[in-house]
Protein backbone atom coordinates (compact mmCIF):
# COMPACT_ATOMS: atom_id res chain seq x y z
CA UNK A 1 0.00 0.00 0.00
CA UNK A 2 1.16 3.51 -0.80
CA UNK A 3 -0.64 5.48 1.91
CA UNK A 4 -0.72 2.97 4.79
CA UNK A 5 1.56 0.50 6.50
CA UNK A 6 0.26 -2.48 8.49
CA UNK A 7 2.40 -4.15 11.13
CA UNK A 8 1.12 -6.90 13.43
CA UNK A 9 2.70 -7.36 16.86
CA UNK A 10 3.12 -10.54 18.94
CA UNK A 11 -0.33 -10.05 20.49
CA UNK A 12 -1.99 -10.01 17.09
CA UNK A 13 -2.71 -6.27 17.14
CA UNK A 14 -2.31 -4.65 13.73
CA UNK A 15 -0.87 -1.13 13.80
CA UNK A 16 -2.10 0.74 10.73
CA UNK A 17 -0.17 3.94 10.05
CA UNK A 18 -1.64 6.55 7.70
CA UNK A 19 1.25 8.41 6.05
CA UNK A 20 0.66 9.64 2.50
CA UNK A 21 3.95 10.32 0.69
CA UNK A 22 4.68 13.75 -0.78
CA UNK A 23 1.93 15.38 1.29
CA UNK A 24 2.35 17.45 4.44
CA UNK A 25 -1.04 16.25 5.69
CA UNK A 26 -3.08 13.09 5.18
CA UNK A 27 -6.30 13.52 3.18
CA UNK A 28 -8.95 11.13 1.90
CA UNK A 29 -8.58 10.68 -1.85
CA UNK A 30 -10.08 7.93 -4.00
CA UNK A 31 -6.76 6.03 -3.81
CA UNK A 32 -6.76 6.31 -0.02
CA UNK A 33 -10.35 5.02 0.18
CA UNK A 34 -9.34 2.00 -1.92
CA UNK A 35 -6.48 1.23 0.45
CA UNK A 36 -8.70 1.62 3.53
CA UNK A 37 -10.94 -1.03 1.98
CA UNK A 38 -7.90 -3.27 1.51
CA UNK A 39 -6.71 -3.14 5.11
CA UNK A 40 -10.25 -3.43 6.48
CA UNK A 41 -10.59 -6.66 4.49
CA UNK A 42 -7.19 -7.79 5.78
CA UNK A 43 -7.99 -7.32 9.47
CA UNK A 44 -11.46 -8.86 8.98
CA UNK A 45 -10.31 -12.03 7.23
CA UNK A 46 -6.90 -12.67 8.82
CA UNK A 47 -7.41 -14.90 11.86
CA UNK A 48 -3.97 -13.97 13.16
CA UNK A 49 -5.14 -10.37 13.62
CA UNK A 50 -7.10 -9.94 16.86
CA UNK A 51 -7.73 -6.21 16.54
CA UNK A 52 -6.24 -3.02 15.14
CA UNK A 53 -5.05 0.47 15.99
CA UNK A 54 -4.97 3.22 13.38
CA UNK A 55 -2.72 6.24 13.77
CA UNK A 56 -0.86 8.75 11.63
CA UNK A 57 2.78 8.99 10.65
CA UNK A 58 2.46 12.78 10.47
CA UNK A 59 1.87 15.43 13.13
CA UNK A 60 -1.80 15.55 12.10
CA UNK A 61 -4.14 12.55 11.95
CA UNK A 62 -6.19 13.37 8.83
CA UNK A 63 -7.49 16.67 7.44
CA UNK A 64 -10.51 15.18 5.70
CA UNK A 65 -11.45 14.89 2.04
CA UNK A 66 -9.23 15.95 -0.83
CA UNK A 67 -11.32 18.93 -1.97
CA UNK A 68 -9.12 19.55 -5.00
CA UNK A 69 -9.90 16.05 -6.25
CA UNK A 70 -13.57 16.54 -5.35
CA UNK A 71 -13.69 19.82 -7.24
CA UNK A 72 -12.16 18.21 -10.30
CA UNK A 73 -14.90 15.59 -10.31
CA UNK A 74 -17.60 18.25 -10.74
CA UNK A 75 -16.85 18.80 -14.41
CA UNK A 76 -16.88 15.04 -15.08
CA UNK A 77 -20.25 14.63 -13.39
CA UNK A 78 -21.84 17.56 -15.22
CA UNK A 79 -20.54 16.34 -18.55
CA UNK A 80 -22.06 12.93 -17.84
CA UNK A 81 -25.37 14.46 -16.68
CA UNK A 82 -25.84 16.11 -20.06
CA UNK A 83 -25.68 12.68 -21.69
CA UNK A 84 -27.62 10.58 -19.16
CA UNK A 85 -28.79 12.35 -16.00
CA UNK A 86 -30.01 9.31 -14.07
CA UNK A 87 -26.93 7.25 -14.82
CA UNK A 88 -24.60 10.11 -13.88
CA UNK A 89 -26.38 10.73 -10.58
CA UNK A 90 -26.18 7.04 -9.69
CA UNK A 91 -22.46 7.04 -10.48
CA UNK A 92 -22.03 10.07 -8.23
CA UNK A 93 -23.94 8.39 -5.40
CA UNK A 94 -21.88 5.20 -5.72
CA UNK A 95 -18.63 7.17 -5.76
CA UNK A 96 -19.55 9.14 -2.62
CA UNK A 97 -20.97 6.08 -0.85
CA UNK A 98 -17.66 4.20 -1.20
CA UNK A 99 -16.26 5.84 1.92
CA UNK A 100 -19.39 5.07 3.91
CA UNK A 101 -19.13 1.47 2.75
CA UNK A 102 -15.54 1.02 3.95
CA UNK A 103 -16.12 2.86 7.24
CA UNK A 104 -19.19 0.72 7.89
CA UNK A 105 -17.19 -2.42 7.09
CA UNK A 106 -14.59 -1.23 9.59
CA UNK A 107 -17.03 -0.88 12.47
CA UNK A 108 -18.74 -4.22 11.83
CA UNK A 109 -15.53 -6.16 11.12
CA UNK A 110 -16.03 -8.24 14.26
CA UNK A 111 -12.75 -7.16 15.83
CA UNK A 112 -11.92 -4.20 18.09
CA UNK A 113 -10.43 -1.18 16.33
CA UNK A 114 -9.11 1.91 18.14
CA UNK A 115 -7.98 5.25 16.72
CA UNK A 116 -4.81 6.79 18.16
CA UNK A 117 -5.46 10.41 17.21
CA UNK A 118 -2.12 12.17 17.46
CA UNK A 119 -3.15 15.48 15.87
CA UNK A 120 -5.71 17.33 13.78
CA UNK A 121 -8.69 15.14 12.78
CA UNK A 122 -11.22 17.06 10.71
CA UNK A 123 -14.05 16.12 8.40
CA UNK A 124 -13.49 12.65 6.99
CA UNK A 125 -10.53 12.21 9.32
CA UNK A 126 -12.80 12.70 12.31
CA UNK A 127 -15.36 10.38 10.71
CA UNK A 128 -12.67 7.69 10.38
CA UNK A 129 -11.99 7.99 14.11
CA UNK A 130 -15.72 7.83 14.91
CA UNK A 131 -16.04 4.63 12.88
CA UNK A 132 -13.52 3.01 15.23
CA UNK A 133 -14.75 1.42 18.45
CA UNK A 134 -12.57 3.63 20.67
CA UNK A 135 -10.56 6.83 20.35
CA UNK A 136 -7.47 8.02 22.20
CA UNK A 137 -6.19 11.59 21.80
CA UNK A 138 -2.73 13.06 22.38
CA UNK A 139 -2.51 15.46 25.31
CA UNK A 140 0.69 17.18 24.18
CA UNK A 141 -0.17 18.35 20.65
CA UNK A 142 -1.48 21.95 20.94
CA UNK A 143 -2.74 21.81 17.35
CA UNK A 144 -4.99 18.79 17.92
CA UNK A 145 -8.57 19.61 17.04
CA UNK A 146 -11.60 17.45 16.26
CA UNK A 147 -14.47 18.74 14.18
CA UNK A 148 -16.50 19.00 11.01
CA UNK A 149 -15.63 22.10 8.94
CA UNK A 150 -17.63 20.93 5.89
CA UNK A 151 -20.46 23.42 6.36
CA UNK A 152 -17.95 26.24 5.81
CA UNK A 153 -17.52 25.16 2.18
CA UNK A 154 -21.16 24.33 1.55
CA UNK A 155 -20.97 20.60 2.32
CA UNK A 156 -22.02 18.26 5.11
CA UNK A 157 -20.09 15.43 6.80
CA UNK A 158 -20.61 12.74 4.19
CA UNK A 159 -18.93 9.68 5.71
CA UNK A 160 -21.26 9.01 8.60
CA UNK A 161 -20.65 12.14 10.66
CA UNK A 162 -24.29 13.22 10.71
CA UNK A 163 -25.28 9.74 11.94
CA UNK A 164 -22.54 8.60 14.33
CA UNK A 165 -22.08 11.87 16.19
CA UNK A 166 -25.76 12.25 17.28
CA UNK A 167 -25.81 8.58 18.27
CA UNK A 168 -22.80 9.23 20.51
CA UNK A 169 -23.61 12.65 21.97
CA UNK A 170 -27.35 12.99 21.52
CA UNK A 171 -29.17 15.34 19.19
CA UNK A 172 -28.72 18.50 21.26
CA UNK A 173 -24.99 18.16 21.95
CA UNK A 174 -24.08 17.21 18.38
CA UNK A 175 -25.72 20.26 16.77
CA UNK A 176 -22.90 22.81 17.41
CA UNK A 177 -20.27 20.54 15.91
CA UNK A 178 -22.35 19.79 12.81
CA UNK A 179 -23.97 23.19 12.15
CA UNK A 180 -21.36 25.64 13.41
CA UNK A 181 -18.16 23.83 12.37
CA UNK A 182 -17.01 23.97 15.99
CA UNK A 183 -13.56 22.46 16.55
CA UNK A 184 -12.80 21.01 19.96
CA UNK A 185 -9.60 20.21 21.83
CA UNK A 186 -8.69 16.84 23.30
CA UNK A 187 -9.83 17.57 26.86
CA UNK A 188 -13.20 18.89 25.69
CA UNK A 189 -13.62 15.80 23.51
CA UNK A 190 -12.93 13.68 26.59
CA UNK A 191 -15.52 15.52 28.68
CA UNK A 192 -18.08 15.07 25.90
CA UNK A 193 -17.37 11.36 25.62
CA UNK A 194 -15.93 11.51 22.11
CA UNK A 195 -12.60 10.02 23.18
CA UNK A 196 -11.90 7.30 25.73
CA UNK A 197 -8.76 8.87 27.14
CA UNK A 198 -6.26 11.68 26.64
CA UNK A 199 -2.64 10.56 27.04
CA UNK A 200 0.83 11.85 26.08
CA UNK A 201 1.68 11.30 22.43
CA UNK A 202 4.41 8.75 23.13
CA UNK A 203 1.90 6.61 25.08
CA UNK A 204 -0.92 6.93 22.57
CA UNK A 205 -0.49 3.74 20.57
CA UNK A 206 0.23 1.68 23.70
CA UNK A 207 -2.98 2.94 25.35
CA UNK A 208 -4.99 2.12 22.22
CA UNK A 209 -3.47 -1.36 21.98
CA UNK A 210 -4.22 -2.04 25.65
CA UNK A 211 -7.87 -1.14 25.05
CA UNK A 212 -8.04 -3.45 22.03
CA UNK A 213 -6.68 -6.36 24.08
CA UNK A 214 -9.18 -5.69 26.88
CA UNK A 215 -12.20 -5.42 24.55
CA UNK A 216 -12.12 -8.37 22.12
CA UNK A 217 -15.88 -8.22 21.46
CA UNK A 218 -16.23 -4.47 20.98
CA UNK A 219 -19.29 -3.24 19.08
CA UNK A 220 -20.60 0.21 18.34
CA UNK A 221 -23.49 1.20 20.64
CA UNK A 222 -25.86 1.57 17.67
CA UNK A 223 -25.12 -2.00 16.57
CA UNK A 224 -26.20 -3.39 19.93
CA UNK A 225 -29.71 -4.51 20.81
CA UNK A 226 -32.10 -1.92 22.24
CA UNK A 227 -29.87 1.04 21.43
CA UNK A 228 -31.46 4.39 22.25
CA UNK A 229 -30.32 7.90 21.40
CA UNK A 230 -28.73 9.70 24.36
CA UNK A 231 -31.38 12.17 25.50
CA UNK A 232 -34.02 10.71 23.21
CA UNK A 233 -34.80 10.67 19.50
CA UNK A 234 -36.38 13.31 17.22
CA UNK A 235 -39.83 13.03 18.83
CA UNK A 236 -38.62 13.03 22.43
CA UNK A 237 -39.02 15.89 24.92
CA UNK A 238 -35.49 17.07 24.06
CA UNK A 239 -35.35 16.12 20.39
CA UNK A 240 -38.44 17.87 19.07
CA UNK A 241 -37.63 21.37 20.44
CA UNK A 242 -34.01 20.93 19.31
CA UNK A 243 -35.09 20.52 15.69
CA UNK A 244 -37.58 23.37 15.94
CA UNK A 245 -34.96 25.69 17.45
CA UNK A 246 -32.19 24.62 15.09
CA UNK A 247 -34.40 25.12 12.04
CA UNK A 248 -35.21 28.66 13.18
CA UNK A 249 -31.53 29.36 13.89
CA UNK A 250 -30.49 28.07 10.46
CA UNK A 251 -33.09 30.26 8.77
CA UNK A 252 -32.01 33.31 10.75
CA UNK A 253 -28.31 32.83 10.00
CA UNK A 254 -28.49 31.73 6.37
CA UNK A 255 -31.74 33.24 5.03
CA UNK A 256 -32.09 30.00 3.11
CA UNK A 257 -28.95 30.71 1.07
CA UNK A 258 -26.79 27.92 2.53
CA UNK A 259 -28.45 24.58 1.78
CA UNK A 260 -25.76 22.64 3.67
CA UNK A 261 -27.11 23.69 7.06
CA UNK A 262 -30.66 22.63 6.18
CA UNK A 263 -29.43 19.36 4.69
CA UNK A 264 -27.49 18.56 7.86
CA UNK A 265 -30.69 18.90 9.88
CA UNK A 266 -32.53 16.70 7.39
CA UNK A 267 -29.80 14.06 7.61
CA UNK A 268 -29.92 13.98 11.39
CA UNK A 269 -33.74 14.05 11.60
CA UNK A 270 -34.38 11.36 8.99
CA UNK A 271 -31.36 9.23 9.86
CA UNK A 272 -32.21 9.17 13.56
CA UNK A 273 -35.38 7.25 12.73
CA UNK A 274 -33.58 4.57 10.70
CA UNK A 275 -31.07 1.75 11.23
CA UNK A 276 -27.49 2.84 10.60
CA UNK A 277 -27.14 1.27 7.14
CA UNK A 278 -30.25 3.03 5.84
CA UNK A 279 -29.29 6.26 7.62
CA UNK A 280 -25.93 6.35 5.83
CA UNK A 281 -27.71 6.18 2.47
CA UNK A 282 -29.88 9.14 3.50
CA UNK A 283 -26.74 11.10 4.36
CA UNK A 284 -25.12 10.26 1.03
CA UNK A 285 -28.24 11.32 -0.87
CA UNK A 286 -28.21 14.76 0.75
CA UNK A 287 -24.44 15.03 0.28
CA UNK A 288 -24.81 14.37 -3.45
CA UNK A 289 -27.60 16.92 -3.62
CA UNK A 290 -25.17 19.51 -2.28
CA UNK A 291 -22.41 18.46 -4.68
CA UNK A 292 -24.75 19.23 -7.57
CA UNK A 293 -25.62 22.66 -6.18
CA UNK A 294 -23.97 25.67 -7.89
CA UNK A 295 -23.75 27.34 -4.46
CA UNK A 296 -21.61 24.52 -3.11
CA UNK A 297 -19.40 24.44 -6.19
CA UNK A 298 -18.82 28.19 -5.94
CA UNK A 299 -18.03 27.97 -2.22
CA UNK A 300 -15.51 25.15 -2.68
CA UNK A 301 -13.87 26.99 -5.56
CA UNK A 302 -13.79 30.40 -3.84
CA UNK A 303 -13.14 29.43 -0.23
CA UNK A 304 -10.76 26.53 -0.75
CA UNK A 305 -9.34 25.83 -4.20
CA UNK A 306 -8.92 29.45 -5.34
CA UNK A 307 -7.76 30.53 -1.89
CA UNK A 308 -5.01 27.93 -1.92
CA UNK A 309 -3.92 29.13 -5.36
CA UNK A 310 -3.85 32.73 -4.10
CA UNK A 311 -1.89 31.76 -0.99
CA UNK A 312 0.68 30.04 -3.20
CA UNK A 313 0.87 33.01 -5.58
CA UNK A 314 -0.58 31.01 -8.45
CA UNK A 315 -1.60 34.08 -10.48
CA UNK A 316 1.46 36.18 -9.64
CA UNK A 317 3.46 37.22 -12.74
CA UNK A 318 6.89 35.62 -12.79
CA UNK A 319 8.51 39.05 -12.80
CA UNK A 320 6.75 40.06 -9.57
CA UNK A 321 8.72 38.87 -6.58
CA UNK A 322 7.03 38.19 -3.22
CA UNK A 323 7.06 41.17 -0.88
CA UNK A 324 6.26 41.79 2.76
CA UNK A 325 3.51 44.13 3.97
CA UNK A 326 4.78 45.84 7.11
CA UNK A 327 2.82 49.09 7.06
CA UNK A 328 -0.52 50.02 5.50
CA UNK A 329 -2.70 53.08 5.15
CA UNK A 330 -6.44 52.93 5.77
CA UNK A 331 -8.45 55.89 4.47
CA UNK A 332 -11.71 56.18 6.35
CA UNK A 333 -11.97 55.27 10.04
CA UNK A 334 -15.60 54.20 10.00
CA UNK A 335 -16.83 50.74 10.90
CA UNK A 336 -15.07 48.97 8.03
CA UNK A 337 -11.87 51.00 8.18
CA UNK A 338 -11.64 50.58 11.94
CA UNK A 339 -12.06 46.82 11.52
CA UNK A 340 -9.33 46.63 8.86
CA UNK A 341 -7.03 48.63 11.12
CA UNK A 342 -7.75 46.32 14.04
CA UNK A 343 -7.12 42.99 12.31
CA UNK A 344 -4.01 44.41 10.64
CA UNK A 345 -2.58 45.61 13.95
CA UNK A 346 -3.41 42.21 15.46
CA UNK A 347 -1.34 40.65 12.67
CA UNK A 348 1.65 42.81 13.57
CA UNK A 349 1.20 45.39 10.78
CA UNK A 350 1.55 49.12 11.43
CA UNK A 351 -1.50 51.14 10.37
CA UNK A 352 -1.95 54.79 9.43
CA UNK A 353 -5.67 55.39 10.01
CA UNK A 354 -6.87 58.53 8.23
CA UNK A 355 -10.18 60.38 8.43
CA UNK A 356 -11.50 63.89 7.74
CA UNK A 357 -10.89 65.11 11.30
CA UNK A 358 -8.92 63.91 14.30
CA UNK A 359 -12.00 63.02 16.35
CA UNK A 360 -13.21 60.61 13.65
CA UNK A 361 -9.77 59.04 13.35
CA UNK A 362 -9.53 58.65 17.13
CA UNK A 363 -12.96 56.99 17.22
CA UNK A 364 -11.69 54.48 14.66
CA UNK A 365 -8.78 53.56 16.91
CA UNK A 366 -11.11 53.44 19.93
CA UNK A 367 -12.81 50.44 18.31
CA UNK A 368 -9.55 48.49 18.58
CA UNK A 369 -9.11 49.60 22.18
CA UNK A 370 -12.62 48.38 23.07
CA UNK A 371 -12.10 45.00 21.39
CA UNK A 372 -8.72 44.51 23.05
CA UNK A 373 -10.11 45.45 26.45
CA UNK A 374 -12.71 42.68 26.07
CA UNK A 375 -9.93 40.18 25.33
CA UNK A 376 -7.95 41.31 28.37
CA UNK A 377 -11.04 40.92 30.57
CA UNK A 378 -11.60 37.38 29.25
CA UNK A 379 -7.89 36.63 29.77
CA UNK A 380 -7.42 36.01 26.04
CA UNK A 381 -4.52 38.49 26.00
CA UNK A 382 -2.47 40.65 28.37
CA UNK A 383 -2.36 44.40 28.96
CA UNK A 384 1.16 44.44 27.55
CA UNK A 385 0.05 42.79 24.31
CA UNK A 386 -2.97 45.08 24.10
CA UNK A 387 -0.72 48.14 24.37
CA UNK A 388 1.50 46.76 21.60
CA UNK A 389 -1.50 46.29 19.27
CA UNK A 390 -2.79 49.82 19.92
CA UNK A 391 0.68 51.30 19.43
CA UNK A 392 0.64 50.04 15.84
CA UNK A 393 -2.39 52.19 14.93
CA UNK A 394 -1.75 55.87 14.19
CA UNK A 395 -4.99 57.89 13.90
CA UNK A 396 -4.43 61.05 11.89
CA UNK A 397 -5.65 63.50 9.25
CA UNK A 398 -2.17 63.91 7.74
CA UNK A 399 -1.87 62.25 4.32
CA UNK A 400 1.90 62.82 4.39
CA UNK A 401 2.16 59.89 6.79
CA UNK A 402 1.22 57.59 3.90
CA UNK A 403 4.47 58.18 2.04
CA UNK A 404 6.23 55.08 3.41
CA UNK A 405 3.33 52.60 3.56
CA UNK A 406 3.42 49.36 1.56
CA UNK A 407 -0.30 49.27 0.79
CA UNK A 408 -3.29 51.63 0.92
Catalytic residue among 107, 150, 283, 350: 150
Report CA torsion sign: 129, 101, 289, 81.
Answer: positive
69 assigned to active site: no
Catalytic residue among 35, 38, 85, 127: 127
Beta-carbon contacts of 275 under 8 Å, excluding residues fewer than 6 positions away, are none
127 assigned to active site: yes
Phi, psi of 284 (to 5 degrees): -65, -40
Catalytically active residues are 127, 150
Amino acid sequence: MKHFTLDTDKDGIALITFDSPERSMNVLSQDVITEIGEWVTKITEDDAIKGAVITSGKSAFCAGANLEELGGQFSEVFAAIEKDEQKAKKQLFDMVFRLNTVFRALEVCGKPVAAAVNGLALGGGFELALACHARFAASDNPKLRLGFPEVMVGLLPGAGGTQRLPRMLGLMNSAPLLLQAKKIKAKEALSMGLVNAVVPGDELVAAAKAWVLENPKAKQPWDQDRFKFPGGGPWSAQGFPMFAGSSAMVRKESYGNYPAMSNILRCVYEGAQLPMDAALRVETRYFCQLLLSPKTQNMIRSLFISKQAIDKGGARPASQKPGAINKIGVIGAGFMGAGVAYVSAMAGIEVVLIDRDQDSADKGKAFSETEQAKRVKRKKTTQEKMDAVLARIIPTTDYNLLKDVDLI
